[in-house]
Amino acid sequence: MTWFQETLYDHWRQSFRVTREVTRVRGPMQEIAVFETPGFGRVLTLDGVIQVTTGDEFIYHEMLAHVPIYAHGAVRSACVVGGGDGGMLREILKHRSIERAVLVEIDGAVVDFCRQHLPSVSAGAFDDPRTRIVIADGIKYMAETTERFDLIVVDSTDPIGPGEVLFTESFYQDCARCLTAEGIVVNQNGVPFLQGAEVTDTWRRRRPHFADLGYYLAAVPTYVGGFMALGWAAASPRPRAESLETIRARFRAAPVPARYYTPDVHKAAFALPPYIQGLIGNETEA
């Protein structure tokens, strides 16, 4: 019996029973592997760290896509930084209002690999006529582009290796410049119980550049350690303050198929337990 062990912390690890290793390749930037498991389906790893599983990826992708889109109410243009598996594109493009979606992925090998070995995750999103794929460093792209977006989703790894630059103040400042008047930036911000400094540091780095900051939560089984924090930074306080009735009305008018997201989950996700609120408590009073 073969087991895969993911060790992100020196005091805790998680294991997956492997029924079959599908493939393993060394790309220009990192090792990419896919294996099959009994409980989580196909699992994608980059340098030994789990990125996505076909079993539970819908939770992460739905919450990072649908929460800002329904909160904003009129998203036409979106940019995904990272997200080479295509799952975020898939969820964003479920919305008929989307006219343009740009995927900025630093490692083109990840896109090619996921097209071949995880086609159910992108579900045709790479070939949607609204999609444009840019193989480039996300921080360089945001610093140089003249494009403006209603939504920017930073679908990155944790702040180690290639993903580290996507958690810097200069990157957030460039994202703010690339937003439309009521645009929103969302990102994965780790598991606060184990990675609390990420929550605090991101808040501090974003505070000078956005009118509205917050976090909302999702429970993704693969990302162990409790709730996952999803970062929120917006050019206007209006989208996050929209009422449940408004979100419900928008969902009824333009529903998308979802297995985790609902308007009620949307509003409830912004309620932070004290141990997470405490990570930014002093920051909100500053």
Residue 18 maps to which CATH number? Answer: 2.30.140.10
Predicted confidence band at 257 (pLDDT cuts at 50, 70, 90)?
very high
Question: What is the signed CA dihedral for 244, 121, 161, 204, rounded to 10 degrees?
Answer: -10
Verify that 14 and 113 share a domain, yes or no.
Answer: no
Task: Verify that 117 and 141 share a domain, yes or no.
Answer: yes
Same domain, 252 and 116: yes
d(C-alpha 181, C-alpha 283), whole Å:
25
Which residue among 32, 53, 74 closes a domain?
Answer: 53
pLDDT at residue 283, as a whole number: 59
Note the pLDDT of residue 156. Answer: 79
For residues 29 and 172, the model is more confident at: 172
Residues 162 and 275 in one domain: yes
Domain co-membership, 40 together with 97 = no
pLDDT band for position 278 (cuts 50, 70, 90) = very high
Active site residue 155: yes
Give the position of tokens 């990192």: 30
Q: Give the per-residue pLDDT at 10.
A: 87
Catalytic residue among 107, 155, 158, 174: 155
| Closest C-alpha among 124, 78, 126, 70 to residue 98 | 78
Reading the block at residue 8, the tokens are 């992100």
8 Å CB contact between 197 and 148: no
Question: What burial letters (b/e) apply to 18-36, b meaning 16+ CB within 10 Å?
Answer: beeeeeeeeeeebebbbbb
Helix axes 244-253, 57-72, angle to 10 degrees: 100
pLDDT of 30-66, one tens digit each? 899 999 999 999 999 988 899 999 999 999 999 999 9
**Of 53, 74, 93, which one is at a domain's C-terminal end?**
53
- Residue 95 pLDDT exceeds 60: yes
- Tokens read off for 222: 């693969």
**pLDDT value at residue 157:** 63
pLDDT at 281 over 90: no
Same domain, residue pair 40 and 70: no
Dist. CA 146–CA 144, nearest whole Å: 7
Residues 127 and 75 in one domain: yes
**pLDDT tens digits for range 157-211:** 665 555 555 678 889 999 999 999 999 999 999 999 999 999 999 999 999 999 9
Percent of the chain whose predicted confidence (pLDDT) is above 90? 84
* Boundaries of domain holding 15: 2-53
**Are residues 89 and 165 located together in one domain of the fold?**
yes
Reading the block at residue 42, the tokens are 């196909």
Other CB atoms within 10 A of residue 137 CB: 17
Model pTM score: 0.94
pLDDT of residue 97: 96
Residues 73, 25, single domain; the answer is no
pLDDT tens for 78-87 read 999 999 999 9
Integer CA distances (angstroms), 143 to 189, 206, 273, in order = 21, 16, 35
Q: Is residue 38 within 8 Å of residue 207, measured between CB atoms?
A: no
218-246 tens-digit pLDDT: 999 999 899 999 999 999 999 999 999 99
Residues 91 and 78 both lie in one domain: yes
Rounded distance between C-alpha atoms, residue 206 and residue 127, angstroms: 33
Mean predicted lDDT score pLDDT of the chain: 93
Q: Would you state the pLDDT for residue 70?
A: 98
DSSP letter for 255, please. -
Same domain, 83 and 125: yes
> 162 and 252: one domain?
yes
State how many domains the chain has. Answer: 2
**Domain of 276: which CATH number?**
3.40.50.150
What does the alpha-carbon distance between residue 163 and residue 154 come to, in Å, rounded to a whole number?
10
